[in-house]
Structure 1
Amino acid sequence: MDAVLSVDQGTTNTKALLVDAAGVVVARGSAPVGVTFPRPGWVEQDAAEIWRSVRSAVRDCLDAAGGLAPVAVAVSNQRESVVAWERATGKPIGPVLSWQDARAADRCDRLARTGLGDVVRRHTGLPLDPMFSAPKMAWLLESAGLSGPRATERSGVVVGTVDAWLVWNLTGGAVFACEAGNASRTLLFDLAALDWREDLLDAFGVPRTVLPEIRASDAGFGVTADLGFLPAGRPVAAVLADSHAALYQQGCRLPGTGKATYGTGSSVMAPVARPDDPRAGIATTLAWLTDAPTYAREGNIIASGAALAWMAQSLGLSGAADLEQVAKAADDTGGVHFVPAFSGLGAPYWDRSATGLLTGLTGGTDRAHLALAALEGVAHQVADVVEAIETGTEAAVEVLHADGAATGSGRLMQIQADLLGRPLRVADAPDASALGVATLARQALGLTGDGVPEATGGALVEPLMAAGVRASRRAGWAAAVARSRGAVVPPGPATAGD
């Protein structure tokens, strides 16, 4: 059996899936990954713990497989997070700065005042925001006293995205490379040239010499070392950023298609024919690079699963999965809106000064209203991004494909279809990222047919909400977001409730 081991390294969890030639998961393992918040706006992880979680998840997966060994390895990973380590020893020199981390916001503001924001958006397709990797890379290097290319070269320190860290460890330090789609999330990658851009490297103070080689998504990333928990000599056949891998698995490759991945945050992506001028609040990114580049418009939501987890904890529940049960007691939110701007808002606002808030509270607000408001808060954010992606385009996203852990909530999926006013296709399994990169790896090795899988299967959720009710709830949400961003919103029909 030609099975591929797919490692999906996410923000709070690492999964390992053994996927057979038919795309069926025959074994799996998982391990949690911790996240710390040492200061307001700072979000960190431990690079050594991330690697331990990979070892644990893979070991459990292969144990469950009963001796079935993979012919190859594929990797999907959390994006934008940054690791710096000593090339000679593989020892991290500081924390992993999470994609959620906003400590470089002041740096981005200073650079924006020089006009760099326009340059960044024009060449990378991204807004100048601390979510992306370059300002985090600069912070890590400077905090280690490694400002300037000469100091950095002498130190032997390298810096990269999480995929580069995993490839480095899987190959025993033999390969220092990152995948092109991950590179496109750094603010340093030229979408047209498909390479690091020198003027941006200079602007952020990140020398090319400390960065990994950029490789195509299916170009091969060396072979596994003798690691003890995984057979040696297996090709690391493909790497994709997690949201990109989900898009690949969902078969979304033409304008008019799109998907939303519900994780700690959410990524809403829709393919475009070319990397044209990005729309307000929406990024253009490289989805994957095979024999030709595939580009996509994308909006990144900072807190979706994180918002559900926060509300569950605040209500004394054991986890986000319990929110749906509590929300069953409410037909609507009673006028409550929850804006989870824990570290500001991402797309389509990109406002790091926005603050999280609950609006519309009354003496009659109960737990069910709050639980339902959390579910709606996630769905409203996705609807905001879909609407922004579609602005100025010829092809609307007729059916939005959904994947990720939160798709297990039937109530959330119905709310999402209702607030979008269009059908939602929910993936058969929440593991679209792991399955997508496994599919690409099989194709790279010639173990399956050519092309991207078609977006078939999965439950179709039709919208049930009346247009007038949808408009009222969307207007109420817009007013709540405006308040979150510091606007004074006068009372009126748009804020009176649902």
Structure 2
Amino acid sequence: MENYILGIDQSTQGTKALLFDDKGNLISRTDLPHRQIIDERGWVEHDPEEILKNTIHVVKDLVKKNGISKEQIRGIGISNQRETAMVWDRESGRPIYNAVVWQCARGEQICRRLEEKGYAEKIRQKTGLRLSPYFSAAKIAWILQNVEGAGEKNEAGKLCIGTMDSWLVYKLTKEHAFKTDYSNASRTQLFNITDLCWDNELCQWFGVNRQCLPKVCGSDELFGMTDLDGYLDHPIPIHGMLGDSHGALFGQGCTEPGMIKATYGTGSSIMMNIGEKPVLSDEGIVTSLAYKIGGKVNYVLEGNINYTGAVISWLKNDLKLIDSAGETEELAKAANLEDETYLVPAFSGLGAPYWDSDARAVISGMSRTTGKNEMVKAALESIAYQISDIVEIMKRTAGLEIAEIRVDGGPTRNHFLMQFQSDILNIPVRVPDAEELSGIGAAYAAGIAMGIYDQKSLFENVNRTEYKARMNETERERKINGWRQAVEKALTK
């Protein structure tokens, strides 16, 4: 009988189950969306119980869809939305509040108070992260301060405080294993990335009882055994756990220093493996743990961009210039090559490396002949320029040469964008045939740890489409200088 590994990708919009054969090929997937609970303030929540039910449901659908025996499933790897935070009662196992999603900025006042006390730089030195409500700690602090009885239970050590991976492992394992991995822990802003432990001072500043936090494990360790709420006849191991961007880094095979990946989604995460020692940047990018796999910890530099794929949505939904994302490639190719229009998509400020929340979008360089094609071209090019900004800073910070960039996500199907990305970076851009890189990374980590997969052959057998730079240096410099001048017009700081 053929053996299979399950990948579960618990993401912001929904939960996917992925089926991999014993050679690491992705055979099939099923998915279910969950509710986005958004109030008039723009605060975003998820129902953790709904996500748990969906997780079991998508696995059942996957097995049924493919007609395989449940006995053939050997293990599970889980990837998850990272900074989304939640708290549940240790005795009842029930959430005391909904999960507060990474997009939610309700912890802004908590961060502001810590900044006023002079803690921001100390937090960055310990965690590699800018003090921000984006990360889990401020969200957790908000729950503990605003949910009735939460503060008292926190002090008494009667709560479980964690991220979505911890919740799923806790509920899926009958022994109620309360664990997380290094990648997820490093994004909470409570974990010291140099000492590799929950930090007493950080916990104190955010008002979190360290006893309520999960055990931190290697990303390929055994997290516990599960029968998926009685669905399986025999328990199988959960043997891999990675935050989604870290899962994509490993799934792309970026296992050596200087290897870099970019995920093109609504926004983008650019991650560079920098090896076994952390390096902090003063230029607007953060440092995190990549993962701990095979007993070895790797670090990453990361930059996050607010608007990449969302720029294409803006063209479609707001400007009504296109009916579908697929149209943008041909329109951009048909644009006037001499047109010098730049779009800086600072619709809700600019993220890395500028971190200017008050910046506003700018269109500059238009001429009388600038039309629809040129606007679409400028929008696509803005995605590549933003990623290039971060890659250049990573090169300087790490002091490492970058031989290529590995990319994933829906916009990578756009040949115009991928070629322009290669031209602006002046390095090859490589797109794997497989999608679902986050879930692939977690499933591969599990399968390798269980001895089902061989890591070297897994990554050597990936088929990739390669784009090589064709632009001359003079034109590249001229275009990048034009972009920088356009960004200056958008910035307020």
What is the TM-score normalised by the length of structure 1? 0.89
1:235 aligned residue: 237
1:166 aligned residue: 168
Q: Distance between the aligned counterparts of 2:35 and 2:374, measured in 1?
A: 30
Amino acid at match of 1:378: I
Offset of residue 440 of structure 1: 1.0
Q: Distance between the aligned counterparts of 2:407 and 2:52, measured in 1?
A: 28
Amino acid at match of 1:307: V
2:135 aligned residue: 132
Change in 2 beyond 3 A, CA 1:103/1:19: same
Match of 2:381 among 370, 376, 383: 376
Q: Distance between the aligned counterparts of 2:330 and 2:88, measured in 1?
A: 44
Change in 2 beyond 3 A, CA 1:369/1:4: same
1:285 aligned residue: 288
Match of 2:309 among 299, 305, 309: 305
1:175 aligned residue: 177
Secondary structure at 1:122 match in 2: helix
5+ long unaligned stretches in structure 1: 488-498
The more displaced of 19-28 and 468-477 is 468-477
Contact 2:24 2:458 in 1 (8 A): no
Q: Distance between the aligned counterparts of 1:303 and 1:95, measured in 2?
A: 27
2:246 aligned residue: 244
Offset of residue 319 of structure 1: 4.8
Match of 2:476 among 470, 476, 486: 470
1:257 aligned residue: 259
Offset of residue 382 of structure 1: 0.9
Q: Distance between the aligned counterparts of 1:22 and 1:5, measured in 2?
A: 13
Q: Residues 134-162 of structure 1, C-alpha deviation per residue, up to 9 Å, x if partnerless?
A: 111111222214564x3425594433112
Contact 1:250 1:453 in 2 (8 A): no
The reply on whether 1:458 has 2:464 as its aligned counterpart is yes
Offset of residue 323 of structure 1: 3.6
Q: Residues 219-276 of structure 1, C-alpha deviation per residue, up to 9 Å, x if partnerless?
A: 1111114525555511111101111112112222222221112223222111123113
The more displaced of 282-291 and 39-48 is 39-48
Offset of residue 304 of structure 1: 2.3
Change in 2 beyond 3 A, CA 1:326/1:401: same
Secondary structure at 2:266 match in 1: coil
1:194 aligned residue: 196
Secondary structure at 1:235 match in 2: strand
The more displaced of 399-408 and 40-49 is 40-49
Offset of residue 92 of structure 1: 3.3
Q: Percent of pairs identical after alignment?
A: 37
5+ long unaligned stretches in structure 2: none
Q: Distance between the aligned counterparts of 1:252 and 1:347, measured in 2?
A: 21
Offset of residue 71 of structure 1: 1.0
1:217 aligned residue: 219
Contact 2:279 2:398 in 1 (8 A): no
Q: Distance between the aligned counterparts of 1:485 and 1:460, measured in 2?
A: 34
Contact 1:313 1:319 in 2 (8 A): no
Amino acid at match of 1:169: K
Amino acid at match of 1:161: T
Q: Distance between the aligned counterparts of 2:42 and 2:361, measured in 1?
A: 13
Offset of residue 287 of structure 1: 0.6
Secondary structure at 1:391 match in 2: helix
Q: Distance between the aligned counterparts of 2:98 and 2:314, measured in 1?
A: 23
Offset of residue 403 of structure 1: 1.6
The reply on whether 1:411 has 2:412 as its aligned counterpart is no
Change in 2 beyond 3 A, CA 1:233/1:394: same
The more displaced of 137-146 and 451-460 is 451-460
Offset of residue 441 of structure 1: 0.5
Contact 1:423 1:460 in 2 (8 A): yes
Amino acid at match of 1:62: V
The reply on whether 1:123 has 2:126 as its aligned counterpart is yes
Contact 1:108 1:130 in 2 (8 A): yes
The more displaced of 476-485 and 112-121 is 476-485
Contact 1:16 1:61 in 2 (8 A): yes
Q: Distance between the aligned counterparts of 2:416 and 2:195, measured in 1?
A: 44
Change in 2 beyond 3 A, CA 1:360/1:56: farther
Change in 2 beyond 3 A, CA 1:59/1:406: farther
Q: Distance between the aligned counterparts of 1:238 and 1:171, measured in 2?
A: 14
Q: Distance between the aligned counterparts of 2:230 and 2:313, measured in 1?
A: 36
Amino acid at match of 2:394: I
1:490 aligned residue: none
2:209 aligned residue: 207
Q: Distance between the aligned counterparts of 1:374 and 1:230, measured in 2?
A: 48
Contact 1:79 1:241 in 2 (8 A): yes
Query: Residues 79-98 of structure 1 correspond to what in structure 2 (within 5 A)?
Result: 79-98=82-101
The reply on whether 1:385 has 2:390 as its aligned counterpart is yes
Contact 1:153 1:209 in 2 (8 A): no
1:185 aligned residue: 187
Contact 1:223 1:232 in 2 (8 A): no
